[in-house]
Amino acid sequence: MNGRIFSVVGGMFLLTVCSKGDRSSVQAAPPAAQPAAPAGDVSAAGGTITGKIKFTGTAPRNPAIDMSEEAACKAKYPTTPTEENVVAGPANVLANVFVYVKSGVPVGQTFPAPATPVVLDQNGCRYHPHVLGIMVGQPLEIQNSDPVLHNIKAIAKANRPFNVSQPGAGMKTTRTFSAPEVMVNLECNVHGWMHAYAGVRPDPFYAVTGPDGSFSIKGLPPGTYTIEAWHEKFGTQTATVTIAGTESKTANFTFAAH
């Protein structure tokens, strides 16, 4: 584990960042669909943590996907589609990073799960969004927008795994998660390149970075929090942030690509 000290914009404090995880070869990709926003209702009152996530180093292209056997999916792309291992924007900003409050939420405080589902769509033989956040007990609506067979498999440890077959377009299946887990891997048994990741949380204090690499976690009560940033290739980084009242603090993360 490598330690780094980052100066933080927007508050006179030091942000301690620790990194771990897979530092394998990374790859850039075309812009992805906008990630799902936090699903929970949080009060307008409270503090906010915002930031931007980048990486250092060079990201080569993501692997191309051979969809020659799925003409209906291939037809949805003007150029050869790629995997979404590392979605990089200008200045090496990172999309698809799951950022959440790992610890510090007051003990005993509970948050009702929203009734509005988080939608995971299978379109063009890829998952949209690639990374999502969802609360314990909140519906996950899995849709098939392709006229082909998809078989959705959830590889979970804290939650019960599931395996759902959707042989045609227009099909919808709803599942829920019963326990927090970062992350639940979702894959398609029919198409080996299809992967998505779900961060399951007991509270609404999470976000997924968009194409500009930014995130915002709102409605935090006063306290000291450990926040974690998770990326499927770069691993995780943690930071400690103290919130007083309704102030806003900035926490930026930088991953190293090797």
Token pair, residue 234, equals: 């770069």
Angle at 69 between CA 68 and CA 75, to 5 degrees: 55
Mean pLDDT over 19-36 rounds to 40
Which residues contact residue 234 at a Cβ distance below 8 angstroms, ignoring those fewer than 6 apart?
A: 19, 21, 22, 23, 26, 55, 86, 94, 255, 256, 257
pTM for this structure? 0.82
Please write the tens of the pLDDT for every residue from 88-146: 989 999 999 999 999 999 888 999 999 999 999 999 999 999 999 999 999 999 999 99
d(CA 23, CA 211) in angstroms, rounded, equals 21
Structural domain including 35 reads: 2-106+114-256
- Are 178 and 160 contacting, i.e. CB atoms less than 8 angstroms apart? yes
CATH value at residue 85: 2.60.40.420
How many domains does the chain contain in total?
Answer: 1
Please write the tens of the pLDDT for every residue from 191-209: 999 999 999 999 999 999 9
d(CA 66, CA 74) in angstroms, rounded, equals 8
